[in-house]
Chains A and B, each alone.
Chain A
Amino acid sequence: MSDKHTITVTVNGHVYTDDCEARMTLADFLRRQCGLTGTHLGCEHGVCGACTVFLDDVAVRSCLTFAVQADGARISTVEGLAEGDELNTLQKSFQEHHGLQCGFCTPGMLICATELLRDNPNPTETEVREGISGVLCRCTGYDGIVKSVMAAADSQRDGVSESGSIS
């Protein structure tokens, strides 16, 4: 169709070039064109936060972003978090502290928490709650999630003191 645009994005280090209509959301582009179905859609109006991804290092709602707006951007999704075959510190902490149940909001929660810990490596519990309040979880009552993020912050601090840098 004539109203299609060709865009190129780098997602988790891989370059994807494809055509899309102007109205296609970034979430649908990631899920349908790139095959990255880890990013989930819970409301498609920018409230639930399940679709949160990094767009040039800023956490954004991919359901409120058009794919064409992301042309040339660097994107990270939940599929890019693990370190090789190992869960990263935050992911391990979510498993250990039962920070997830059905897993549907989890991709957005992880991206959001990653940004939170990057910007504030020593958050208080109140700061964690505020930091993740843009992602809605219906399963956990947030208790396990808050514990997971707090524990991940502790682990990252331990990692810093041992190796001098955040792994």
Chain B
Amino acid sequence: MTTTTEPKSTKYAGKPQPGIDDPSLLTGSSTYMDDITVPRMIEGAVLRSPVAHARITRIDVSKALELPGVFDVITGNDLVEIAGEQPVIWYPIPEQRIARAHALATDTVRWVGQGVAAVAAVDRYVAEDALELIEVDYEPLPVVADLEQALAPDAPKLYEDWPDNISGSMTLTAGDADAAFAEADVVVGASFRHHPGYGCPIETRGCISNWDVFSGRLDVWLGTQSPNLARELFAQVLSVPVSKVRVRTPEIGGGFGLKFDFYPEGVIAAILSRRSKRPVKLLEDRQESFVASSRSRDMRHDFEMALRSDGTILGLRGTAYGVLGGALGTVGSGPPWASVLTSMGPYKIPNQELTLKAVMTNRSPYGSYRGWGVPKGNIVHERLIELAARKLGMSRIELRRMNFPAPEEFPYFSGAAFTFDSGRYADCLDLATSAVEERGWNELQREGREAGRSIGIGYGFHIEPGAYGPSRVLNMVGLDHSGFDEVYVRMDSAGKVTVLSGQISTGQGTHTTYAQLVAEGLGVPIEDVTVVTGDTESCPYTGYGTGGSRAATLGGAAIVNATGRLKSKILRIGAELLEADPEDLELEDGRVSVRGAADSSVSTADIGYSAYRMLNGRLPESETPTLEEVDVFDPANMTTSYACTALLVEVDRQTGAVKLLDCLQAHDAGVIINPLLADGQLAGGLAQAFGGGLFEEFVYDDDGQIRTASFMDYLIPSATDIPPFHFYHQETPAPHIPGGMKGLGEAGTIAGVSVVGSAIDDALSDLGVTVCEFPMTPPRLLELIRAAQSGEATT
């Protein structure tokens, strides 16, 4: 079901076009990172610290070097001769202490899994044999295993020259929160905890680095979402000119933000390559991924909300703790910062006092994962508004509705950084509640309860900042990079079209949606459009990378602009060939024709021939040869998508297990390019969030050892864990994005965690349980149930 603002008469845009890359993906003919071999290539492996905090007192690599088949072994001290520290690009907290680390540890290890040495050998089997021959002595240091230990007054310190373990803190304010809380009729508050997890693409990370000292060129194949950024950072860390670095991306087996970040392994492989004078492939295996890929989500939010007795929200205040690791990752404390910026959600809250503290622990570096902090901002506002509804005795639906900004109040400043572009939030809420009624959930719940079953319906409303972002604004809030996007749209001498973009595709359908926009914008068959991404040598520059719901919004906007200009040029050349006025021409199905006179037409092949080969007498004197348009799009504002999600669950009070029965979402991402792929994005994101809401967790012991370093222990959802999905769309276009797209890649992960809590609470409403911790595993839920049954408070 789709509710659109205006009827569509399009051929490709807005249509359920299947993925154009699918046939090769379905036949095993695509090329992923580990499918690539280059001439003379050897393979690497990394020796990782088995302890969370220690001084390295001795490393002996001599036995490893003697193993037949080994080319090179490096330690941190070898690496620092060539490489600088790993870069940090986000500095959102003023005067933050930035703890940087090299790609391999030099004297101190600060997390389990930190690299201490690396081997290059004839193949991975031999490289791993060699790791076992490296001897390292560690002198243990006191471990700061979790947030509470890090904050304790007598806590051991990760960095001796710091006063404590706090990397930095900041407070954002709007209005007067203290006054608002003083005059409030009702205050609700809780401590919310999202435990650590990660993006977990099924393809792990990998690279092939080829650093040729004689040409000075560094040629890298990298499984990354941000090839342009990676190129910049390779140049920065290795002190080589940007122009000498080429980054190419193969097919990518899922990214989810995790592959946005710039990791040590690319640098390690480059150093091994330079020293061994061979290209070096370095892949992460699954077990390594739990300690070597970005850890995410790990935060605590102690927040409270103040309301008047009529339900008007007066204020929001609290402190968020970002559980950083032993050094800062690429994005620093960016995601925890974003959680604070979005903690007011879609509600009008005039008075805010929002504090962020970024805290170091002996865990792996914190980094990007789809949603980038916003899922935890969502937990804050959605859990608090339900607590408030209960305390006020109001409907949780009506309490939400009465605090939304009205459509005419947009653009709406949220009070902290973001200005929401456009929205019909109440309509979206109604769309969801009527869908719940239509699907019979309310009746199902009534019947189930009568039969003694604990059936719950959860609701959640979310906002998704997209189109990250206006470059100068991003710079001002602490990003050492830009946010614009650039695209080339080129028609060749045969009249076919190639789009080149700095964005990449990790399965979200970038190539397909771009082909749709070009085919629609120009009036050519979609089969005539080729999309090229993933090579910094031929593709244009994109600020940031493919993340922050940027691909459809910014790349799409640039394509709409470039395609519009290219079409005008094609029509002007067509006018010359047809001896007509360009105003009288139309371009459809690859033919330029005089409107109303179909027999008077030329093909795009004729146009291409005239622009590239036979210019004389065919290309107007005023036109430059070739058919190419470049567009650089730097948005005036970010976009704000939103949705209302509803989830039907059943709780087993004996085991604490939660069964997800059905899920629906009423969504508004502005103009939808491809509803088939859009729904796929929403469903996939929700499934990931349900994993984070119920199952997935990095569990650490008191020594900072990770206890969940395989898929036997870190449980990502399978097909039997995930419910069916039903999506309902409304389209409120982004006012400042040509094409009107708002982005939706992160919607599901933002929406899906808090709604699990809402549904469980509802299923157990007779007990008064409040879910504040995620994942809500069966043991945790049993504890809540038992505490409630014995009359103890649960919040």
Contact = CB atoms under 8 A, between A and B. Distances in A.
A37 B34 contact: yes
B25 A21 contact: no
B19 A132 contact: no
B317 to A, nearest CB: 35
B211 to A, nearest CB: 24
Given A37-B32, A40-B253, A102-B203, A141 B712 contact: no
A121 interface: no
B540 interface: no
Contacts of A142: 683, 687, 718-719, 722
A64 interface: no
Contacts of B125: 21, 23-24
Interface in B1-58: 18-19, 21-23, 25-32, 34-35
A146 B509 CA distance: 19
**Residue from A81, A95, A139 having most chain B Cβ neighbours under 10 A:** A139
B737 to A, nearest CB: 24
Contacts of A130: 719-720
A91 B18 CA distance: 12
A77 B748 CA distance: 33
B35 A104 contact: no
A141 B683 contact: yes
A68 to B, nearest CB: 15
B147 to A, nearest CB: 27
Given A37-B35, A43-B710, A79 B28 contact: yes
Contact of B507 (A37, A87, A103): A103
B269 to A, nearest CB: 19
B76 to A, nearest CB: 27
A138 interface: yes
Nearest to B202: A42
Contact of B719 (A39, A94, A129): A129
Contact of A44 (B19, B25, B286, B719): B286
B26 A103 contact: yes
B31 A37 contact: yes
A140 B683 contact: yes
B680 A48 contact: no
Interface string B246-285: 0000011111100000000000000000000000000001
B114 interface: no
B116 interface: no
A123 interface: no
B251 A45 contact: no
A73 to B, nearest CB: 19
Contacts of B679: 98, 143
Given A43-B286, A106-B26, A139 B254 contact: yes
Contacts of B506: 102
Contacts of B688: 138, 141
B683 A95 contact: no
B710 A47 contact: yes
A153 interface: no
A41 B34 contact: yes
Interface string A83-116: 0000100010011101011111111001000000
Contacts of B25: 100, 102-103, 106
Nearest to B674: A98
B509 A50 contact: no
A42 B687 CA distance: 18
A52 to B, nearest CB: 12
Given A21-B125, A95-B22, A142-B687, A42 B27 contact: no
**Residue from A100, A103, A107 having most chain B Cβ neighbours under 10 A:** A103
B531 to A, nearest CB: 16
B410 interface: no
B24 to A, nearest CB: 8
B659 to A, nearest CB: 13
Contacts of A106: 25-26
B452 interface: no
A116 to B, nearest CB: 11
A137 B202 CA distance: 7
A117 to B, nearest CB: 15
Given A47-B712, A110-B26, A136-B711, A103 B286 contact: no
Given A23-B125, A45-B710, A100 B28 contact: no
Contact of A77 (B28, B201, B508, B676): B28
A144 B719 contact: no
A97 to B, nearest CB: 8
A78 interface: yes
**Residue from B28, B201, B507, B720 having most chain A Cβ neighbours under 10 A:** B28
A31 B28 CA distance: 11
Contacts of B203: 40, 42, 102, 104
Given A100-B22, A102-B253, A107 B28 contact: yes
A138 B716 contact: yes
Contact of B677 (A23, A36, A98, A138): A98
A48 to B, nearest CB: 6
B163 interface: no
A27 B84 CA distance: 38
Contacts of B719: 128-130, 132-133, 137, 142, 145-146
Nearest to B69: A1
B200 interface: yes
B716 A87 contact: no
Contacts of B677: 98
Interface in A9-50: 21, 23-24, 31, 36-45, 47-48, 50
A44 B285 contact: yes
B686 interface: yes
A143 B725 contact: yes
B711 A48 contact: yes
Nearest to B25: A103
A101 B716 CA distance: 17
A146 B724 CA distance: 9
A24 B366 CA distance: 35
B286 to A, nearest CB: 4
A79 B27 contact: yes
A22 B502 CA distance: 44
B18 A95 contact: yes
A136 B26 CA distance: 16
A58 interface: no
Contacts of A81: 26-27
Interface in B171-204: 200-204
A138 B710 contact: no
Nearest to A1: B68
B684 interface: yes
A70 B737 CA distance: 56
B286 A42 contact: yes
A89 B43 CA distance: 39
A142 B690 CA distance: 13
B201 A38 contact: no
Nearest to B31: A37
A115 B34 CA distance: 27
Given A98-B679, A103-B30, A136-B716, 7 more contacts: A24-B125, A40-B202, A91-B27, A103-B25, A104-B202, A136-B202, A143-B722
Interface of A: 21, 23-24, 31, 36-45, 47-48, 50, 77-79, 81-82, 87, 91, 94-96, 98, 100-107, 110, 125, 128-130, 132-134, 136-146
29 contacts: A37-B28, A37-B32, A37-B34, A42-B202, A42-B286, A43-B711, A47-B711, A79-B29, A91-B26, A95-B22, A95-B23, A98-B19, A101-B508, A102-B25, A102-B252, A102-B507, A104-B32, A107-B28, A130-B719, A133-B720, A136-B718, A138-B201, A140-B684, A141-B685, A141-B686, A142-B718, A142-B719, A143-B724, A143-B725
- 10 tightest A-B CB contacts, nearest first: A38-B28, A102-B507, A104-B253, A103-B25, A141-B687, A101-B507, A141-B683, A47-B711, A37-B35, A78-B28
Interface of B: 18-19, 21-23, 25-32, 34-35, 125, 200-204, 251-256, 285-287, 506-509, 676-677, 679-680, 683-688, 710-712, 716, 718-720, 722, 724-725, 748
